A and B are shown apart, each in its own frame.
Chain A
């Protein structure tokens, strides 16, 4: 079964698509079968970053039922082993997906024949983004070392949290509380997820343990993109620490990705960055990130051995 990684992060322009594309390329060049899915519905870019300029098929064929099997909408790219499902030709209203369509996509993703499925998720905290994120085996958050980005990340984490929390509350007969929570958030002020947990704990301490356990199962992985040398090199670790201290779930910092002017060049040239600029700190960072992602999946990192002397 494929290992599904969602790549998200609240803010636009933080590098979600860039990292998805290049991570996909690295994994594919090391012999993995990788399917990239552009789930940034209504703002598809991923095809450009993997140099697949004129995709013929895509998610729209699956949504309009002209193909039954999602894997048939995956197109081979120039990189061996790397496939792309673009949403470029989806309807302009695809951003507002129906619930049933979303469920259909999520179910189909789970059955894709690949080693890795990377979901490039859009910015913002709409239900689509959150649900695609929660459907993955591992969720990667991309943030940049700017207060705006950190802020949006916190919002995204809280939104994911609230979404999960509501699902748990609904599933497990916390109905009265769930209603209360739902009503309160309809007033326009969304309660902090932590407040909700606190409330449940006070009211029903016997269920609190269960709730805590469920939230503890969530693991978030953080990646600090566009890291420049003058920035505190421990920023990522510090954010990880604060998250672990003040939220109920588990957070893991996976590492920095160095900032590089050439990233923009490669996008303008519509070329794949890691192939165009293989000897840059940014590429090295992306490779070690790929290593850590593979390592979380299988105990023995398959890539590391090959990197050893290259």
Chain B
């Protein structure tokens, strides 16, 4: 292990050799939050003497790197000692783009693409026709269609944003757990559209089947 004294000024601040003065200032502030006089960390970790020694080195590092002339001299020493490569001094770093929006929200679109490509490869017409042939559509029929496409219930949620619990209620004909018909109609429409089945007929068939279930019980 290399002791703190062995670290170069750049390593103390954990910045690249061609860091901008902005980065150095920021890193200095970070270092002070660890090693500074009012930091709980350095209070717990070091004796007064150790801390003074470390802080002196941090100050030294900052005052050198923030001053262009001093920094140039320091770099020269590092190059002479073969600690750093002279080419890394002039190398420009490409700016990294910071996304404004979180990448998480685009998950639905990726899943949709996955579903579309899964549907493209399969012939679902026979299954859809079979489901619609009796006029009544049960939850199990919808589930059969979904498994034929080869997607999970969570994938349906990712695109339609219908909660998994509701989707499960729909697929299992859990009458008590189903939302009011106004919502259910739209949910079924979204579900059917996602799986390239006729939304009108699916919705009508499902509600018809539901009616039959509630009447028989």
Question: A: which residues have CB within 8 A of B?
Answer: 145-147, 150-151, 153-154, 212, 216, 232, 235, 238-239, 241-242, 245-246, 248, 308-309
Contacts and interface: CB of A to CB of B under 8 A. Distances in A.
Interface in B21-77: 30, 33-34, 40-45
A245 B58 CA distance: 14
A178 to B, nearest CB: 21
B10 interface: no
Contacts of B43: 147, 150-151
A309 B33 contact: no
Given A212-B1, A248-B1, A150 B164 contact: no
B56 to A, nearest CB: 16
A239 B1 contact: no
A246 B41 contact: no
Given A238-B33, A309-B164, A147 B44 contact: yes
Contacts of A246: 4, 45
User: What size tier do the contact residues of chain B reach?
Assistant: 10 to 19
Contacts of B4: 245-246
A212 B2 CA distance: 11
Interface of A is mostly: helix
B34 A309 contact: no
Given A150-B40, A248-B1, A242 B34 contact: yes
A154 B45 contact: yes
Contacts of A146: 40
A272 B28 CA distance: 44
Nearest to B11: A245
A238 B154 contact: no
A308 B104 CA distance: 13
Contacts of A242: 34, 41-42, 45
A147 to B, nearest CB: 4
Nearest to A148: B44
Contacts of A239: 41
Contacts of B45: 150, 154, 242, 246
Contacts of B34: 238, 241-242
Contacts of B41: 150, 235, 238-239, 242
Nearest to A243: B45
A31 B99 CA distance: 39
Contacts of A154: 44-45
B60 to A, nearest CB: 17
Nearest to A231: B40
Nearest to B50: A246
A212 B42 CA distance: 24
Nearest to A150: B44
Given A212-B1, A241-B34, A309-B164, A153 B44 contact: yes
A235 B40 CA distance: 10
